[in-house]
Amino acid sequence: MSLLTKYGPDSRIVAGGHSLIPMMKLRLAQPQALIDINDLTDLARISVEDGTLCVGAMVRHADLLASAVAGEHFPIFHDAEKVVADPVVRNRGTVGGSLCQADPSEDLSAAFAAVRGEAVIEGPGGRRVVPIREFFTGPYQTVVGENELLVQLRVPISSSASAYQKVERRAGDWAVAAAGAELRIEGTQLVSVGIGLTALGAPNFHAPEAEEYLLAGPAVDERFAEAGRIAARHCNPVADQRGPADYKRHLAEVLTVRALRRARTRWHGNNHQEEG
């Protein structure tokens, strides 16, 4: 924290560097000082504390992908990490770096939004906890202040199932579109649901209107299909080299349905004895 205070807004944190270094090469970022935090090993742990999955901001993508405890409780993270870039990036890039970059096409932001994660931010005034759904203030912008550091991501563990679906032009590319879902079912009723969207212009990477529609209704294909249509109507994709807006809106619908169905399949697979 002292180095951030010393160098102020002209400094940048570097851990994996896979976002910052290319931006510096293109002169899109020109920090006067780089603060290397790779020695902060306390920020590189994955643990369960008081019923909460805790992921340090310095955790590498490869470590989250390999984490049995993360995969057991939130398979959405394994789904997403499998399609994050390539092994070189996954071995060095960090979870915290990805979220702080706040790229609209970044995968983990939607995954953490779907499961309603929390960001732990530390600064001169102490620690504060911000819901991931309030963490992003716009493309490439977050609530992390100039002298603050994202130190951890937290996700309360509950009985749920989750999944992530992505369309990309080639393996390891940024998403054309992607969707994540987390749900909990009692009998046939869907009693808890979260939907995250990537590269689709969804505010804070989630689809609250589709979630509201699904709550307390049966977890059936007809309702999933309508939720997909609602998610598509309320997102605002931008036409670019990856495709026109109408195509991306179509993907929002299709991928939302696929993520919900896959999460439902996992729920029934994990709860077949109880339900039987």
Average pLDDT rounded to a whole number, residues 39-49 = 91
* H or E element that contains 69: helix 68-73
Instruction: Show me where the domains of the chain are located.
Output: 40-156, 161-271
Number of H helices, E strands in the chain: 12, 13
Tens of pLDDT along 172-221? 889 999 999 999 999 999 999 999 999 999 999 999 999 999 998 999 99
Say whether 44 sits in a helix, a strand or coil: helix
* For residue 250, pLDDT beyond 60: yes
Domain 40-156 has CATH 3.30.465.10: yes
Average pLDDT rounded to a whole number, residues 61-83 = 97
The four Cα atoms 24, 238, 199, 226 give a dihedral, to 10 degrees, of 170
| Cα distance between residue 130 and residue 173, in whole Å | 29
Tens of pLDDT along 116-142? 999 999 998 999 999 999 999 999 999
* H or E element that contains 273: helix 272-275
User: Domain 161-271 - what CATH class?
Assistant: alpha beta
C-alpha separations of 226 from 33, 140, 217 in Å? 50, 31, 12
Domains 40-156 and 161-271 belong to one CATH topology: no
Q: Check if the beta carbon of residue 162 is closer than 8 Å to that of residue 263.
A: yes
Q: Sorting pLDDT into bands at 50, 70 and 90, what band is 24?
A: low
Q: Check if the beta carbon of residue 136 is closer than 8 Å to that of residue 109.
A: yes
Q: Is 119 exposed, middle or buried (0-12, 13-18, 19+ CB in 10 A)?
A: buried
pLDDT at 273: 45
The reply to whether the predicted model has a pTM over 0.85 is: yes
